[in-house]
């Protein structure tokens, strides 16, 4: 009976290493399929927001289409129609929606 208990205890050491390997591989998979693409998208969005200049056609997160009239620090003045201007934060610009309207043209 004592030999059976010792054999079972010895086999548990290999199981722990298998669990550690499994856990590590799950973390690695999550990094490559979830975290890394999100970081890449965030970098592209930040680059897009910093490169916005006067005359660019943009779309906000709320779906407002307009032409950049002026850039003042962290805010942008959008011209929606002749004489109608709207002041928004740069962070309210949507890279995805702006790409869509540029592809349609």
| pLDDT by residue, tens only, the chain of 105 residues | 444 454 444 444 567 888 999 999 999 999 999 999 999 999 999 999 999 999 999 999 999 999 999 999 999 999 999 889 999 999 999 988 888 888 887
**Any alpha helices (H) in the chain, and if so which ranges?**
2-30, 36-50, 95-104
Q: Are strands 57-59 and 84-89 parallel, antiparallel or unpaired?
A: unpaired
Kindly state the tokens that stand for 80: 């929606």
Q: Name the pTM for this structure.
A: 0.67
Q: Can you tell me the distance from the alpha carbon of 101 to that of 99, in angstroms, rounded to the nearest whole number?
A: 6
């Amino acid at each position: 009976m004592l030999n059976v208990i010792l054999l079972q205890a010895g086999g548990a050491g290999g199981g722990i290493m298998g669990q550690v390997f499994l856990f590590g591989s799950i973390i690695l998979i999550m990094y490559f399929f979830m975290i890394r693409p999100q970081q890449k998208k965030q970098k592209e969005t930040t680059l897009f927001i910093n490169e916005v200049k006067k005359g660019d056609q943009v779309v906000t997160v709320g779906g407002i289409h307009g032409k950049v009239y002026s850039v003042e620090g962290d805010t942008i003045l959008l011209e929606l129609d002749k004489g109608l201007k709207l002041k928004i934060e740069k962070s309210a610009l949507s890279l995805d929606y702006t790409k869509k309207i540029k592809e349609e043209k």
